[in-house]
Amino acid sequence: MIPQKGMIKVSTAFERVIHCYLAITCLLLIITGLGMMFHSLNFLAQPFGGLKSMKTAHTYLGVIFIPALFISALLWWKDAGIFDFPSDIEWLKKGGGYLWHVDNVPETGKYNPGQKLFFLTVVIFGLLMIISGFIMWFPEGYNKETVNWMYALHALGLLAILSFVIVHIYLGTIGVPGSAGAILTGYVPKSWCLKQCPKWLRQQEKEDKLEYFEGH
């Protein structure tokens, strides 16, 4: 997607790099995790040279994932980690207007409550995956029951994150046209902002902080 003159900048190059870093490691962890969890998906191990190699790759991908998660949490906590009551709750009650026709959907800031839920799910379950993963990797000093619980929590975290990732990918592509530009180039049309983040747009206009694409 090539940005057009007058489009609004909604993400910096650093934010896009971190988003891709987090997304790639997260997707690879999901793929390798599913390949180990379900016998019918063992074929996912073939590109890695077998289940043993895939397990090793999964372990070290988990280590690579740690800084991505912590940088993301610090980077987006202010905008995506805190709910704005009561408007965000009303937005959730109406499904944001995505699930059925709704009049007067509450306006949102830079990130809507659905995106905030996704962000918090990744952060909270990501931390759970890191802790449980390390105990599974180094089980010495823990009793068998604790280690078994870590396997169960690890599986729960995988399924929770996977569910939100599927929705996130859908809404970021065909579900909400124009959203991909925020990640690919950092720029989106003003019409997109008016629909997706009107509160943020007005605030940026008021403070004269908007950056526009001027063309090449």
**Best CA proximity match to 166, nearest among 9, 27, 60:** 27
Model confidence band, residue 1 (pLDDT cutoffs 50, 70, 90): low
Alpha carbons 70 and 157: distance in angstroms, whole number:
17
Phi–psi pair at 187, nearest 5 degrees: -120, 145
Contacts of 91-96 with CB under 8 Å at 24 or more apart are: 92/117
Model pLDDT for residues 105-122, shown as the tens digit of each residue: 889 999 999 999 999 999
pLDDT exceeding 90 applies to what percent of the chain? 82
CA atoms within 13 A on the CB side of 121: 19
Model confidence band, residue 163 (pLDDT cutoffs 50, 70, 90): very high
pLDDT exceeding 70 applies to what percent of the chain? 99
Model pLDDT for residues 191-200, shown as the tens digit of each residue: 999 999 999 9
pLDDT value at 174 more than 70: yes
pLDDT at residue number 173: 85
pLDDT value at 99 more than 80: no
**Best CA proximity match to 61, nearest among 36, 37, 32:** 32
Phi–psi pair at 61, nearest 5 degrees: -65, -35
pLDDT at residue number 216: 59
Report the pLDDT averaged over residues 150-154: 96
pLDDT at residue number 178: 87
**Best CA proximity match to 202, nearest among 191, 212, 210, 214:** 210
Average pLDDT of the chain is 93
pLDDT at residue number 205: 95
**Which spans in the chain are helix H?**
13-37, 51-80, 87-93, 113-137, 144-170, 180-184, 190-196, 198-206
Domains in the chain and their CATH numbers? Answer: 8-206 (1.20.950.20)
Helix (H, G, I), strand (E, B) or coil at 188: strand
Q: What is the DSSP letter of 100?
A: S
pLDDT at residue number 74: 97
pLDDT value at 97 more than 90: no
Beta pairing, strands 187-188 & 8-9: antiparallel
Model pLDDT for residues 16-61, shown as the tens digit of each residue: 999 999 999 999 999 999 999 999 999 999 999 999 999 999 999 9
